[in-house]
Structures are given as C-alpha cells and as structure tokens.
Amino acid sequence: MKNFTYQYPVQVYFGETVTKDALKAEFSKYGSNVLFAYGGGSIKKVGIYDEILQALKDAGKKVTEFSGIMSNPTYQKVQEGAALAKENKIDFILAVGGGSVIDCCKIVSAQAKLDCDIWDFEYTEHKSPTEFVPMGAVVTAFGTGAEMNNGAVITNEAKKMKSPLWGAFYDFAVLDVNYTMTMPISQVISGSFDTLSHCMETYLGTPRDTNLSDEINEAVMRNVVKNMRKTLKNHKDKFARSELIWAAAMAENGILKLGKVTDFQCHMIEHQLGAYTDCNHGQGLAVIHPILYRHIYKSAPAQFARLAENVWGISRENKTDEELALEGINALAAFIKEVGLPTTLAEMGITDTDYKAIAESTILTGGCCKKLDAQEIEKILKECI
C-alpha cells in the first residue's frame, strides 16, 4: 500500500427515524440563518419537507429556501445558491436530498466565501478553497455516497464540461432508512449500481497487489450485489435498504481508497456523456463499464481475475488470469441485465451525439490500468450504442 494520512470529519447518524433527534442535536451548534436546499419538490410530496421545516422552526432558525436543484447540477445553479448565501448572510446550509443536492451545496458552501469564480480558481489557478459555510446533509436518495466526501460533480454548460470540483465536507450526515424508502425502485437500483461502480473503480486502481483496502472492498461489492437482488425481490425490505445505504457511504468515506490510486476512468467518460446528453448517471455507468473493461482487462489480468473470483464467485480451476477476468466481466454484464439496467445507449434514448467531442474532452485518470486516448474512448462510446 502507498503512504497515507487519514482523518474523517463527517459525523454520521444512521438508522430508522433518526432525523429528528439528529437535527435537534446539531442545530444548536450553528447560527440562526439557514439555507434549506433541496431538489425538484419530491420531498414535499412525501412529507419530508414539512418535517425538516418544522425542525428548523423548532430550533428558532430563519430559513431561506434554495430549491430546484436538478439531477446533474449546473454551475449556474451553484452560483444561484452562492448568491443566496451571501445576500442572506447564511450561517449554515442544510442539504436535503440525493447526490445532486448534496454535491451542489458543497460548492455553494465554498463559492459563498470566495470573491472569485471557483471554477477558474480550481482549474486555472490550481488552488483549493479553505473557507466554507458549515453544512449538514439529510440523505433521501443514496448511491453516490456524496455526503461522505468533499468532491462534487458539476455540469458547466457554457464549457460543455461535467467535471469534479472540490468544496466543503459536511459537518454531519443523516442516513435515515425511512426517508430513503420513498425512492422509486428504479432510482434505488441505479444509485446502488453507482455504489458498485465506485467500488470497482477504486479496486482496479494501483497498487494492484492484494491489500487490506481491496479485501474490505470485495466484501462491500458482494454486499451490494446481494442486497440489490434482495431489494428487487422485496421493495420494502428495510434491512436490505439499510445495507445499501451504508455500502454507499463505505464506498466514499475514504476507507476503501487508503493506500490506493483510484481509476474512475468509467466515471470520467460517463460524466462527459452526461455533459452532452444529461443522461442518468447510474444507467450511463452500467452501459459503459463492461465495454470499457473488455478494452482494458488484459493490462491488469490478475486484478480483474481476483474480482471475478472473490466478488462474482467464479471458479479459478483450469483458467488463466485472462480467461477468469473475462468471465468476471461477462458476469458483471449479466448482472446489469438481471437488475434491469440498460446495456446500450439506445436503451437510454441516446441515439446520436458528438462522441468525438465527448472523447476528446474526457479527463484521463492516472489509476487506470491502461493508458487510454481520445480515439479509443470514442471507439468505446460507439460500441455502447
């Protein structure tokens, strides 16, 4: 394993009906002006909005609402939130929703304390923000594990880029199983596959020898596969749901990444696909993963073979590493089909887009076992059609 320093700042409240007590314990730590951030309004339909608003009122908070945060949050939306935070002298941001809301607020928190444009600050000046508006998250849709780190994926529509930005860590995160039971099952499966993707992209990074981080990762991946299947059999299985919620957190709280240089090449390709098509993130990953892996597995056959054996349960007997690796990729593709995720871009309604431009603007990751170029990424995307 490579050298690392580990410190984890996010306080986690996990379980059934934990939200009320968690917010009561936390709200006393912050000032009175709160930015209440949420998405398209689904939290109003299921009663979560009323519960959170009442908790804010009970704590004596003055509330400014920041609503309408979309899937694949835009840079323009970030700037809208930052302007609200500055104008209303916000002391604390409460993000209620899934990864899109949670990601957006990380950058709002940083931009609200900056006088310059945060995109240029990070990508042109190569600096990182150091001051933030404090934040808390209440997770209603899981999979990205966004509440566990300070990275965010934001779509800059003017630049045609869907790229990572770095903002604030959440002071606390509430993972309330009951709140996530309101998710449509298609969203549960899509989000859970994102968790699996995060795990695979970490596992296949360097170093690719057997280490503790990878062995813990194998357990998380097996757990995700098992509980996705259980959830499809019984949509109301709270135990399976709680396992998936915690797996999503484990995938992104840094534990699996200790001593690793991660891959995340599939994510980078999907991000740029999303910048051009605004597609569903988990579905895009499901389409790209098997095809990408068939392009790269021969560059790291031993690690792909371990994935096949230790996660997908494929016997090593009388097989080379390459043969075992390919069987594992085929098992992944079969699982994607089994859980009802798309296997082609056409199934996602993407029939024509500028694959060359997507490929040329895709960030190339250092942890990938094969050094890709724009030409091969374009080829991968066209094989996804």
Identify the structural domains of the chain with CATH numbers, from first to last.
11-180 (3.40.50.1970), 185-383 (1.20.1090.10)
From the list 241, 155, 144, the residue with the least C-alpha distance to 195 is 144
Q: How many CB atoms lie within 10 A of CB 195?
A: 28
- Which residues of the chain, if any, have pLDDT below 70? none
pLDDT at 1: 77
In sequence order, the 6+-apart residues with CB closer than 8 A to the CB of 10 are: 147, 148, 169, 170, 171, 172, 173, 253
At residue 153, the 3 state secondary structure works out as strand
The 10 Å CB-count burial string (b at 16+, else e) for 46-58 is eebbebbbebbee
Contact assessment for residue 252 and residue 146, using Cβ atoms and an 8 Å cutoff: yes
pLDDT number for residue 2: 81
Q: What is the pLDDT of residue 163?
A: 94
pLDDT of residue 5: 85
Comparing C-alpha atoms, which of 258, 227, 257 is closest to residue 244?
227
DSSP secondary-structure letter at 255?
Answer: G
CA angle at residue 39 from 51 to 127, to 5 degrees? Answer: 115
Coil, helix or strand for 128?
Answer: coil
- What pLDDT sits at residue 57? 96
Listing DSSP states for 195-208 in one string gives HHHHHHHHHTSB--
* Whole-number pLDDT of residue 24: 95
- Helix pair 281-296, 374-383: axis angle to 10 deg: 120
Cα distance between residue 360 and residue 273, in whole Å? 11
Reported as a single tens digit per residue, the pLDDT across 223-274 is: 999 999 999 999 999 999 999 999 999 999 999 999 999 999 999 999 999 9
Exposure on the CB side of residue 314, measured as CA atoms within 13 A: 23
Phi and psi (nearest 5°) for 244? -65, -35
d(CA 110, CA 113): 6
Query: Which ranges of the chain does DSSP label H, i.e. alpha helix?
Result: 19-27, 42-45, 48-58, 75-87, 99-111, 118-123, 177-180, 185-203, 212-233, 238-252, 265-277, 281-296, 301-310, 321-338, 355-361, 374-383
Task: State residue 281's pLDDT score.
Answer: 95
Token duo for residue 215: 């062995």
Q: How far apart are CA 282 and CA 341, in angstroms?
A: 9
Q: How far apart are the C-alpha atoms of 134 and 309, rounded to whole Å?
A: 44
Among 79, 98, 263, 92, which residue's Cα sits nearest to residue 175? 98
- The model's pTM is 0.95
